[in-house]
Structure 1
Amino acid sequence: MKLLDEQVLPPTDATWADQLIDSLTGDLTSKLGSEGVLLFPSAPAVAPYHYSLLLRPYNFAYWGVFNAIKFPAAQVPLGLNSDGLPVGIQVVAAPENDALALAVAEHLGKLFGGFVPPCKVLD
């Protein structure tokens, strides 16, 4: 995929990308303010089988976008689904509101039971 991106597809206009990031950052900052959080899926689906992510290379966008715009985000484990696979959600806050994101993440973790091992681990 990387070779295709670098050698076949046209290069991304850096000015356009910077403007898009600035626009998204401004919009989200104004929406969240100093006390708001965004609850956002961590991924489009539960954990896939090993190596199947190679067939879905852009699923990282669910968490990658907040990394790119430098917003604090915390992953909250919410237990297991009906198939016994771990599920969770992201808590995202505006820049410099790391403590808010962590406090909400901690509260949600306690409320929903937090991390549950998907299988028994032998000592």
Structure 2
Amino acid sequence: MTTEYSSTTIWMVFFATGIGAFVLRSSFIFLIGKLDDIPPWVEGALRFVPPAVLAAIVIPAVLLLSLEPSLRLVFETEKLLALALAGVVAWQTDNFLATIGIGMVILWGFQTIM
């Protein structure tokens, strides 16, 4: 693969991006550490971060957007069934590790069966 950027430029972009991400994340940690009281609306918003991150990781792995022959969602049945059953486990147990563990076992079982 040929590119018009030198390898030094590419590494500098990686380095600058890593430093920028570190500064943004650590500044939030240090800012919250200096506050005596976290506002309730911030705590309320932060409550939704783990489910949003998990959904952002899981949903694209299960549902794909296809443009051929027309715009539609494409999915593998075993992944969709495992996601649905893991959702039931999450709803019933409120246990993150149980949801992931049982969901993976169900997915592997469906993949060997189908």
Normalising by structure 2, report the TM-score.
0.32
Bigger fraction of residues in strand: 1
Q: Which has the higher helix share?
A: 2
Structure ranking higher on relative contact order (CA contacts 8 Å, 6+ apart): 1
Length-normalised TM-score, structure 1: 0.30
